[in-house]
Amino acid sequence: MAYLFTSESVSEGHPDKIADQISDALIDNFLAFDADSKVACETLVTTGQVILAGEVKSNTYLDVQQIARDVIRKIGYTKSEYMFEANSCGILSAIHEQSADINQGVDRKTPEEQGAGDQGMMFGYATNETENYMPLALDLSHNLLKELAELRRENNEIKYLRPDAKAQVTLEYSDDNTPIRIDAIVISTQHDDFDEEAAMLAKIKKDVIEILIPRIIAKYPVYAHLFNDKINYHINPTGKFVIGGPHGDTGLTGRKIIVDTYGGKGAHGGGAFSGKDPSKVDRSAAYATRHIAKNLVAAGVADEILVQVSYAIGVAKPMGIFIDTYGTSKVNLTNGEIAKKVEAIFDMRPYFIEQRLKLRNPIYSETAAYGHMGRTPEVVTKTFSAPGGEEKTVTVELFTWEKLDFVDQIKTAFGL
C-alpha cells in the first residue's frame, strides 16, 4: 500500500540556525589560526542578545563579538525592526578553557593514538532515490528554502521577505518505496508587516506557488515529475508571521540535528555537530559514516544503507560498526559480513577520520545551514582576521565526506 513520508528544513535565518552558524564560524576562526584547537562552543540567541558559552583549548585569541556580528549581518538581520540586528545586539561571551580531564582522553603521545572526544554512537545514511544519495523529501525542503533565500536577497520579484522560514515536504511513495509525487508542501516565511492580513496571506501564497515553485522546477528539473496540481499547499498557515527570528523564538546551537542530517530517514545518535572541532566524534564520525554509506550505495552494494559506529571516550578504536541494508543488498553477504569488509576498508579511529576527510581545516561555516549531508564538494579560498590585525588566507576543500572517492576500492572488495 502506498504511504506518505515527511521531512522539514529551516532557513539560515531560523533562530536555531543562527546559533549553529555563529558556533561554526567560531570553530573556523580557531582552526584557521591554530589547527590543533579543541573547541566546543554553544550559542543562544534571543531578542537583541547573543550569549556564547563553551570550552576552548587554543593558541589563538579571537574577537568573538565581531565574528558573531559578521554572521548575523550575512544572514540578513540588518534592520532594527527585526528586534535582532547585527550592529546593535548585545553579545556576552562565557567561553572558558577546556577541561584537562576531557583533554587527557584525546591527546596522546602519538597522533594516531588520539582517543575519541566522547562516548556515543553516530549514524550515516544514504539512498539512491536522489542524485546526491539523500532522502528526497529533505532534499526538496532544503532547496525550497535556499531558493526562498535567493528571492529575499534579490529583492526583486518578492520584496517583503524576512530571514526566518521553515519548509516541509510530504511525499507519496509506492509499494516498492519509489517516490511518486508531492502530496503536500508547508512553507512558513517571515515577512514585512502588511496593512490587511487576508490580502497579505493571499499574496504570499500566490507568490510561493507562482514564483518560488516554478523556479524550483526550472532549477532542479529532476524533480519536475513530482509536482502536480493536487499538491496541498499550506503557506503561512497560522496567518501573520512578522515577529520572527530570535525575537520570536530563542535559538540554541544543536537543536536541528534531524534537519542537519537525513530528515527522519535512517537514524541519529543524538549528538549535534555545530560548534564542535573534529576531535568530537559526534561530528567527525557522523561525517565518516555518511562517507561510507554514500560510497557503498554508489558502488552498488545496496540501494539504501545505514552505518553505525560507536566509541568510548578516550579510546581510539570504535566499539563496533553496524550495517543495515534494509533488505536492499545487491551482494550475497549478511549485514554483519558487509560490516567486516567496511571495517577493513575504512579506519575509523578519530585521527584517521580527521586525516582522510581533511577535517582540521576551517570548513564548517558552510555546513551550518541547509544540511551537513548531500552537499557538493568544492575547493574555496577563505580569509580570516585576528584582533591584532593578522590575516590568514587558506584554501580548503568543503564537504569532503560527500566525495565518491572509495567507490572503486569498494567494488574491488565486494567483487562488483
Burial of 378 (0-12, 13-18, 19+ CB in 10 A): exposed
What does the pLDDT read at residue 109?
Answer: 65
Would the pTM of this model clear 0.75, i.e. be above it? yes
What percent of the chain is predicted at pLDDT more than 70? 97
The count of C-alpha atoms lying within 13 angstroms of the C-alpha of 294, restricted to the half-sphere facing its C-beta, is 25
Task: Tell me the binding residues for Mg(2+).
Answer: 16
DSSP-assigned beta bridge partners for residue 308: 123, 322
Is 70 exceeded by the pLDDT of residue 266? yes
Number of CB atoms found within 10 A of residue 96's CB = 10
- List, as residue ranges, the binding site for L-methionine: 55, 98, 249, 280
pLDDT tier at 99, thresholds 50, 70, 90 = low
Mean pLDDT of 398-402: 98
Over residues 145-183, the pLDDT tens digits come to: 999 999 999 999 999 999 999 999 999 999 989 999 999
- d(CA 366, CA 260) in angstroms, rounded, equals 12
Q: Is 109 within 8 Å of 252 (Cβ atoms)?
A: no
Residue ranges at the known binding site for K(+)? 42
Give CA–CA dist 415/412, Å, rounded: 5
For 379-396, the pLDDT digits (tens) are: 999 999 988 888 999 999
pLDDT bucket at 245, cuts 50 / 70 / 90 = very high
Q: Please enumerate, by residue number, every residue annotated as part of a binding site for ATP.
A: 14, 164-166, 240-241, 249, 255-256, 272, 276
Domain 3-9+136-242 has CATH 3.30.300.10: yes
The annotated binding site is made up of 14, 16, 42, 55, 98, 164-166, 240-241, 249, 255-256, 272, 276, 280
What's residue 108's pLDDT? Answer: 55
Beta-ladder partners of 50: 45, 91
Q: Which element (helix H / strand E) includes 288?
A: helix 281-299
For the chain, how big is the Rg over CA atoms in Å? Answer: 22
Is the model's pLDDT at 115 over the cut of 80?
no
Q: Is the pLDDT of residue 103 over 70?
A: no
pLDDT attached to residue 105: 52
